[in-house]
Amino acid sequence: MAAKSPRKASHENRYRAANGGVMLFTLIVFVIFLVAALIYAEEPSAPVVVMLVLGMPAIGLCIRGFFVVQPNNSKVIVLLGKYKGTVREPGFYWANPIAQRHRLSLKANNIASNVIKVNDLGGNPIEIAAVVVWQVRDTAQAIFDVEDYRHYVDVQIETAVRRLASVHPYDDNDAELDQTTLRGDSEVVNEELRDQLEGRLERAGIEVLEARISHLAYAQEIAAAMLQRQQAAAIISARRRIVEGAVGMVEDALLQLQAKGVVDLDMERRATLVGNLLVVLCGQENAQPIINTGSLYS
């Protein structure tokens, strides 16, 4: 059995509605004509009666056809179940009075997702939330291709945030070499989130203007342990930097002593000097000078 092909996406087209001012003037002229015919007729003849019987309901029906489009808004016109087009330009218009008109905002919307708990790539539970700025790009898709485009946006944002958090580690401690992390590569992560949302919201005719991670933290049950690990990693990194600097300073000191001929050191005295310098440079406490009155070999 052959698989069913996906339904073709709706596509917005512009609806050329009549000018509301011109139609209002025409309607007023018609009303004046009916009133004048009723006043100046010597007696209610059959044509006058027919005009009044048919004209008054027609006037009420025509009044229903007037509508106003506010700035950054639109009207989606549907006539007898068929999409006719969208009016985007602000103004006063008239359309078929039996047509349905759906108001749709074209303004930018700012939505902050709820803080959700999800496991990152390393399996650590984290809390994450995002802020997304979006607006309607295709009114036909927003109205006809999804049930409720606002609810659709909310669900897709949460889904995209969950997937983003599950494919990246939280920080560098869990990451392999050149691996994108949620905490350390925020710009790359934000761009990836935006691309994901663009693909997910394409069906609803939604354009994503901006997407950013607004909240990122370890879950409460592991926050204390992860803080200790981060502190330990920071201490190790600082110690490594201190040792590297101390080794370089000791090397420079030995080279200068040898170049200037200040003292001739054998290997044992050189080792003793290196040890003392490393203790002084790497120690947390200030060094206490000790005067040695004897010989190194005594």
Regarding whether 212 and 156 lie in a shared domain, the answer is yes
What is the reported pLDDT for 30? 82
Write the burial class of residue 204 (CB in 10 Å: 0-12 exposed, 13-18 middle, 19+ buried).
Answer: buried
Structure-token pair, residue 37:
């015919």
- Residue 294's pLDDT is 53
- pLDDT tens-digit series, residues 138-190: 999 999 988 899 999 999 999 999 999 888 888 766 555 567 888 888 888 89
229 and 205 within one domain: no
Based on the domain organization, do 22 and 121 belong to the same domain? no
pLDDT at res. 2: 47
Same domain (yes/no): 128, 205: yes
pLDDT at residue number 292: 56
Inside any domain, residue 261:
yes
52 and 25 housed in the same domain:
yes
- pLDDT of 289 reads 61
In a domain, 290, yes or no: no
Count CA atoms closer than 13 A to 251's CA, side-chain side: 6
| Positions of E strands within the chain | 18-19, 66-69, 73-79, 82-87, 91-94, 100-105, 109-112, 116-119, 125-136, 206-218
Beta-carbon neighbour count of residue 90 at 10 Å?
13
Domain end, chosen from 201, 218, 235, is at 218
Q: Which of 46, 76, 103 is the last residue of a domain?
A: 103
Range of the domain at 82: 18-103
What is the number of structural domains in the chain?
A: 3
Q: Verify that 115 and 195 share a domain, yes or no.
A: yes
The CA distance from 263 to 74, in Å, is: 89
Same domain, 123 and 211: yes
DSSP of 276-297, one letter per residue? HHHHHHH-SSPPPP----S-TT
Asked if residue 229 and residue 206 are part of one domain, the reply reads no
> What letter represents residue 77's amino acid?
I
Q: Indicate whether 4 belongs to any domain.
A: no
Q: Is the dihedral of CA 251, 254, 258, 262 positive or negative?
A: positive
- Asked whether 146 and 193 are in contact (CB, 8 A), the reply is no
Computed on alpha carbons and rounded to an integer, the radius of gyration of the chain in Å comes to 39
Residue 3 lies in a domain: no
Task: Examine the fold and report which residue of 218, 250, 270 is the final residue of a domain before the chain moves on.
Answer: 218
Amino acid of residue 278: L
In a domain, 133, yes or no: yes
DSSP code at position 95: -
Q: Are residues 213 and 228 in the same domain?
A: no
CATH number at residue 113: 3.30.479.30
| Together in a domain, 26 and 85 | yes
Measured from the Cβ of residue 87, the count of other Cβ atoms closer than 10 Å reads: 22
pTM of the model: 0.68
Same domain, residue pair 84 and 129: no
Assess if residue 214 is contained within a domain: yes
Within-domain flag for 73? yes
- Does residue 161 form part of some domain? yes
Whether residues 117 and 198 fall in one domain: yes
Which residues pair with residue 233 across a beta bridge? none
Which residues of the chain are modeled with pLDDT < 70?
1-7, 40-53, 172-178, 221-236, 257, 261-266, 269, 273, 276-298
First to last CA, the chain: 99
d(CA 4, CA 49): 59
